[in-house]
Amino acid sequence: MVVGPSEVANEPYDIVVVDESHRLRRRVNLGTYFGAFDAACKKLGLDNNHCSELDWMVQQSKKLVLFYDENQSIKPSDTTKESFDKLKADKKTKIERLRSQFRVKGGNDYIQYVDDLLRCKKVKNQQFFDSKEYEFLLFDSIEDMVDEIKQRDQENGLSRMIAGYSWEWISKKDQSLFDIKIENTKLKWNNVADDWINSPNAVNEVGCIHTTQGYDLNYAGIIFGNEISYDKAKNEIVILEKNYFDKNGKQSIKDPNQLKEYVINIYKTIMLRGIKGTYVYVCDQHLKEYLAQFIGKFKIQNQAKVLPLDSVIPFQNSVPLFSLKAAAGAFSEVQEVSDFTWIELPTRYKPSKDLFACTVIGDSMNKVIPNGSICLFRRYTGGSRNGKIVLVELTDMLDADTGSCYTVKEYQSVKTTDGENWKHKNIILKPLSYDQSYKEINFNDEDDLNLLKVIGIFESVL
């Protein structure tokens, strides 16, 4: 059962597990929640001015499990660190430290790197964070970062932009206005608050800590706003309070160091949303110069690069290029290097013998794949294909664009279940084209389903 703090206040539980417990609230900057908070405290016999939702959890549960990270506390309404320290000091409390995480493919090394970066613990000329599992890049152009996030979203899904509170939310009252203006780029804050990540227009908007904390993304594009800078003489992050527009995030704060701690925690938290990569753009020139010492720069790759044979290290620095027109039967293990053209593998991909490239002809997928594009695919070895762009071999028909038995389409399936067993009811190969003349290919019966074979899963346009 999933419940909120108010439900816990209404009745006792044998076991309560609290995720993101650092976000349990106290009676500070609660807005419309003041009344409900006070009522719950009165019901539980607690002093509303000296307790928090953490006290509710303790009082209403026989066993309490808290997932707590003091570095993700982001505003004054969060329960204080001292309250958690008091609970940790209780002899009845058992403390377990989580030593690994499963979200960020950069692993604990990336997490520590980000922490050191924001705490100004990095040493100049130290080697950049480098991982074949994770992409961490600094952008000089906000337009380039927006374009790359949108491209990653087409390729992988769940790629979003997130920013610090350096701009007022003026579009909330007037949808014709833009909130964020950087260089020649105009952007809007998230149009919806609940489940913004999955909302239809999210890829064109910018989220904040409140709409992304607790969510997983594939790629996160982080915009460091004008509220955060860097003092080179002191080697420390500086917060410009006048440029920080989260009223509930700064109201009642008297100590500038406390505000600094909250803002740093915000940026660290949003920099850990991306599973596959984090892109960074910085508005403040001093901070940009500091971060440029420790984050590799994004470089535009105009087109796929063909490597000369004497430079090819198969499946390490390159992948084979197939022509869909002439590929019949060719997607087997490579025998002779000289039999293929080899394309340079982008640095964001971990080398694998499962990767290969194809030239995709035609306009049936031009919303994602322009005609004539060289695309990277990963050999299909099992697992769900639903909603993914796939390279399919058709055994009883030819693709209109390629004139071959291979086609690239979005894969959709409907399944039926019979007890513990399931089978495909129908499979749809869907074009993603601006040209409405392209139609879906439907496979509706068992014989039809045997007429297709998924060869690979689309990764990206090279």
- pLDDT tens digits for range 422-443: 666 788 889 988 888 888 888 8
Region 145-172: mean pLDDT is: 92
pLDDT band at 341 (very low <50, low <70, confident <90, very high): confident
Q: What is the pLDDT of residue 327?
A: 43
Region 203-232: mean pLDDT is: 94
- Name every residue whose Cβ is closer than 8 Å to that of residue 356 and which is 6 or more positions away in sequence: 319, 320, 321, 322, 331, 376, 377, 379, 456
Q: What is the pLDDT of residue 384?
A: 83
Q: What is the pLDDT of residue 54?
A: 96
Residues 276 and 189: their CA atoms lie apart, in Å, by 23
DSSP 31: G
pLDDT band at 133 (very low <50, low <70, confident <90, very high): confident
Least confident of 208-222, 294-308, 409-423: 409-423
Q: Which of residues 99 and 344 earns the better pLDDT score?
A: 344
pLDDT band at 445 (very low <50, low <70, confident <90, very high): low
H or E stretch at 286? helix 285-291
Asked whether the predicted pLDDT for residue 304 surpasses 90, the reply is no
Neighbouring C-beta atoms of residue 215, cutoff 10 Å: 17
pLDDT band at 254 (very low <50, low <70, confident <90, very high): confident
Residues 382 and 459: their CA atoms lie apart, in Å, by 16
H or E stretch at 279? strand 274-282
State the average pLDDT for the chain. 88
Percent residues over pLDDT 90 in the chain: 53
Percent residues over pLDDT 70 in the chain: 90
Q: Which of residues 286 and 194 earns the better pLDDT score?
A: 286
Asked whether the predicted pLDDT for residue 167 surpasses 90, the reply is yes
Neighbouring C-beta atoms of residue 412, cutoff 10 Å: 16
Asked whether the predicted pLDDT for residue 72 surpasses 90, the reply is no
Asked if 216 contacts 158 with a C-beta cutoff of 8 angstroms, the reply is: yes
Residue 324 C-beta-side C-alpha neighbours within 13 Å? 30
Asked whether the predicted pLDDT for residue 186 surpasses 70, the reply is yes
pLDDT band at 160 (very low <50, low <70, confident <90, very high): very high
Asked whether the predicted pLDDT for residue 281 surpasses 50, the reply is yes
Q: Which of residues 273 and 249 earns the better pLDDT score?
A: 273
Q: What is the pLDDT of residue 328?
A: 42
Asked whether the predicted pLDDT for residue 324 surpasses 50, the reply is yes
Scan for tokens 């500070």, then name that residue.
Answer: 28
C-alpha angle with apex 284: 230 to 256, nearest 5 degrees? Answer: 50
* Integer CA distances (angstroms), 321 to 196, 313, 338, 370, 404, in order: 39, 14, 12, 17, 16
pLDDT band at 329 (very low <50, low <70, confident <90, very high): very low
- Residue pLDDT, tens place only, 390-420: 998 887 776 666 667 888 899 988 777 766 6
* Integer CA distances (angstroms), 161 to 104, 270, 362, in order: 17, 10, 31
Region 239-257: mean pLDDT is: 89
pLDDT band at 93 (very low <50, low <70, confident <90, very high): very high
Least confident of 92-106, 142-156, 222-236: 92-106
- Name every residue whose Cβ is closer than 8 Å to that of residue 87 and which is 6 or more positions away in sequence: 54, 58, 66, 93
CA 190 to chain centre: 15
Region 245-263: mean pLDDT is: 88
Q: What is the pLDDT of residue 79?
A: 95
Region 135-148: mean pLDDT is: 94
* Domains (range + CATH), the chain: 5-89 (no CATH), 107-297 (no CATH), 309-461 (2.10.109.10)
Least confident of 1-10, 31-40, 390-399: 390-399
Query: What's the whole-model pTM score?
Result: 0.73
